[in-house]
A and B are shown apart, each in its own frame.
Chain A
């Protein structure tokens, strides 16, 4: 789900944390699969059979040949090890992008939704401005201008990611603010900052969880795309997007070298999306 110009002001469903107790196995399965992929990446140093950066065998070994489960690449590095490390590099980055987006978007959306008036107008028009731009191109432009590397990649993508969250959070805050419990708090004389922090914000957290989990897959794709274009972690560090790009020339002689990192991206994205739908099924009603 990438940001687009036609965003809903509110989610079409209501969200509460109460749903977490449900025994909805397919939803939990999606979440479990993503956790498994995430752990595989994080535990790459333990799980990977070889060093991902050093050549360890004959170049162009086919999957299964000489004991390399997924073969070796053009200079004889183990493809399995590189892919595991690549997942380990990509997934935390995707989570970081979403976390930064949620945090910035959440704060901006909450401020706009509670203060309303001109603050709301200014913040939301800025958000609209970002939403009107083609997101991948802006991200590419920012990273290209700053130069590649993990930090710049993170910054560039996060910068275009928040407006989407800000819009939805603002809508949720506005609708919560009209609920009787907020009116009751106003009548009780509770100061505005406390109404915001205690009577409104906790109510949007489940929504944020769902939004965030639905977005991890999209963030993974975006990171891999930029890295494919050479804007991510520089070689020889393993990274799914750049591994696929570097070896795309070898596609005809040794298909596994570019395709397997691509399959890695596919696995991360699809399990992230399954986990996202799972979270939505569990939390939304």
Chain B
């Protein structure tokens, strides 16, 4: 059989970037990458943040950021053009005729001041073609949507528009950089399906850059695993997912949160490059087992929520009923996940219980003997005031709860021990901490005075696989050590299953289904729940089953 020549070839690519800022030394972010993308092939480029995977995508586009003063050696040929030496004009032509790009957040790559229609017509050349294309990528009422601005569309629709623009020129290669990371699981599933369909229709190649092995496994033919600017392993999807050769790939797969993860044991942890080693806590966590939670007889519930109703005004005439009489209880020491798509009302409940929002009707009663409810934010690190020192942040929380100053030192040290941080971080400003340290400090602050309930807002959705496994382990460790009640809001059932004893499924402001976590996943009754379960990308499971 004749093998067609690759559409894109990368040979011994080395890229050095100088990031503007305090530390302005050149850093080698790609260290000798060689890669072929054959016509019609979907390559999943997988790695953690900072592995250089996005830089590789940008190099193929000839779009490395000028301000980082890139120094590039090696060879990059895309569609017969030598990208590293081509003139700007040739590159523009190449991008226009042969390449399509989809970025993580279409809000930043679509022009916010132009109507969708005008941007689509720029890409397609005619209004009719633009409407047809929008219809093709599954935008409902495409003719009407031509007249709206990007911010008026939902995240999923914006990503569809972005994909429509990417494929407008019938590209030979689509470079998709984390195209589904900012989306709900169900929307992610739809977008991945769309990409797969378009690829079959256009017979184009796709370079899918992602931190999620599950996403790569869903649509790729071949997976390339990157770490620290190098390719550690590459091969067919089935081979990589079921028989990974390199130790790093094995750990990536093991730490992936899936519907199969062991609920009684912590996720395997490993240190990504650049994070300080903390073997002591990792060892302690790895020795833990998490027993099934049983309600203590006679204990008062940690939180009682009674017929909460909340309506938001959307415009002068229309309102949105975010919550429509929601009632539930969370037992002392119980962990409950509220699951649903965006707009289901799950975040509104969380913000009401947190006291950041007030309900129109209904009541929230929390256990009076414990500290006020605390929250772990979507991006735990961003919840630390950047210029404040860790010691001050922790002491502040103690003073607020009326802990006498002489006990502060001991309480703070105990909290640091629980999250495995050294005393020396107390004097460090939180903006100088690493991402992993920030997570730990945020958790220490939330738990230093055990709260009536610990609220978690999509604790993993903004994180790559390593950071997600890390925070889940920390949260379970915290519950193990401090014994708090917890309430999670997430759209990801695999996360919910791992951290919650009980799952509440929400849709349009009402709880449509609830039950023990395993039960809900194994035997969902509602179609909506079935869709949520089906949307979790779980190719490892699928490969093994096949």
Contacts of B397 in A (CB 8 A): 188-189
Among listed B259-267, B279-287, B298-306, B380-388, interface-contacting one: B380-388
Q: Give bound CA distance, A285 to B374, whole Å.
A: 33
On chain A, the residues within 8 Å of B386 by CB distance are 181, 203
- Among the 9-residue stretches B19-27, B78-86, B180-188, the one with 4 or more Cβ atoms under 8 Å from chain A is B19-27
Q: Which of B356, B385, B396, B401 contacts A187 (CB 8 A)?
A: B356
Chain A residues whose C-beta falls within 8 Å of the C-beta of B20 in the assembled complex: 22, 285
**B374 → chain A closest CB, angstroms:** 6
A18 — which chain B residues lie within 8 A by C-beta?
21-22, 431
Tell me the residues in window 141-200 of chain A with beta carbons closer than 8 Å to chain B beta carbons. 179-191, 194, 198-199
| Residues of B contacting A181 in the complex (Cβ-Cβ under 8 angstroms) | 382-386
CB-contacts of B191-244 with A (<8 A):
none
User: Which residue on chain A has the smallest CB distance to residue B455?
Assistant: A187
Residues on A with C-beta less than 8 A from B401 are 189
Tell me, in angstroms, the Cα distance from A183 to B379 when the chains sit together.
12
CB A92 to nearest CB in B, in angstroms, measures 30
Query: Among the listed A21, A187, A191, A203, which residue makes an inter-chain contact with B375, where contact means beta carbons less than 8 Å apart?
Result: A187
Binary per-residue interface labels of chain B (18-36) against chain A in the complex, 1 for a CB within 8 Å, 0 otherwise = 0011111000000000000
Contact A22/B21 with A188-B400, A189-B401 known, Cβ cut-off 8 Å:
yes
Beta-carbon contact of A198 and B22 below 8 Å:
no
Contact with B along A200-212 (1 / 0, CB 8 A): 0011000000000
Q: How far is the CA of A203 from the CA of B384 in the complex (A)?
A: 13
Asked if A198 contacts B388 (CB within 8 A), the reply is yes
Tell me whether B57 is interfacial, beta carbon within 8 Å.
Answer: no
Closest Cβ neighbor of A191 among chain B residues = B400
> Which residues from B are CB-within-8-Å of A189?
372, 397, 400-401
Tell whether A187 pairs with B22 under 8 Å between CB atoms, given A180-B383, A181-B382, A199-B388: no
* Residues of chain B from 387 to 442 with CB closer than 8 A to chain A in the complex: 387-388, 392, 396-397, 400-401, 431, 442
Interface size of A by CB at 8 A reads 24
Give chain B nearest CB distance to A152 CB in angstroms: 39
Known A19-B21, A22-B24, A23-B24; contact A184-B384, beta-carbon cutoff 8 A? yes
Given contacts A198-B385, A203-B387, contact A183 B396 (CB under 8 A): no
Q: Binding site of A, secondary structure by majority: helix, strand, loop or mixed?
A: helix
**Bound CA–CA A194/B393 (angstroms):** 12
Cβ A190 vs Cβ B382 within 8 A:
no
**Which residues of chain B (353-388) have a CB below 8 Å from chain A?**
354-356, 372-375, 377-379, 382-388
Chain A: minimal CB distance from B273 (Å):
23
Nearest-neighbour CB distance to chain B for A189, whole angstroms, equals 4
Known: A187-B355, A189-B400, A198-B388. A179 touches B382 (CB 8 A): yes
CB pair A183–B377 under 8 Å, yes or no, is: yes
The distance in angstroms between the C-alpha atoms of A285 and B20, with both chains bound, is: 9
Is B477 an interface position by the 8 A CB rule? no
Q: In the bound complex, what is the Cα–Cα distance between A187 and B375 (angstroms)?
A: 7
Chain A residues in 8 Å Cβ range of B355? 187
Contact of B491 with A by CB under 8 A: no
By a CB distance below 8 angstroms, the chain B residues around A190 are 396, 400
* A residues near B356, Cβ cutoff 8 Å: 183, 186-187
Interface centre among A19, A179, A186, A187 (most CB of B within 10 A): A187
Contact partners of A202 in chain B: CB under 8 A: 387-388
Assess whether A21 is in contact with B22, with CB atoms less than 8 Å apart: yes
Give the chain A neighbours of B354 by CB distance below 8 A: 187
**A181 and B385 alpha carbons, distance in the complex (Å):** 5
Contacts of A191 in B (CB 8 A): 400
Pair B24/A180 contact, Cβ less than 8 Å: no
Whole-angstrom distance between the Cβ of B405 and the nearest chain A Cβ = 16
- 29 contacts across the A-B interface (CB closer than 8 A): A18-B21, A18-B22, A19-B22, A21-B22, A22-B21, A179-B382, A180-B382, A181-B383, A181-B384, A181-B385, A182-B385, A183-B356, A183-B375, A184-B383, A184-B442, A185-B385, A185-B396, A187-B354, A187-B374, A187-B375, A188-B400, A190-B396, A198-B385, A198-B388, A198-B396, A199-B385, A199-B388, A203-B386, A203-B387
**Additional 12 contacts, C-beta under 8 A, given A180-B382, A181-B383, A181-B386:** A19-B21, A22-B20, A180-B377, A180-B383, A181-B382, A182-B385, A183-B383, A184-B442, A185-B396, A187-B373, A189-B397, A194-B396
9 closest A-B pairs by CB: A184-B383, A21-B22, A189-B400, A181-B385, A180-B382, A180-B383, A202-B387, A199-B385, A180-B377
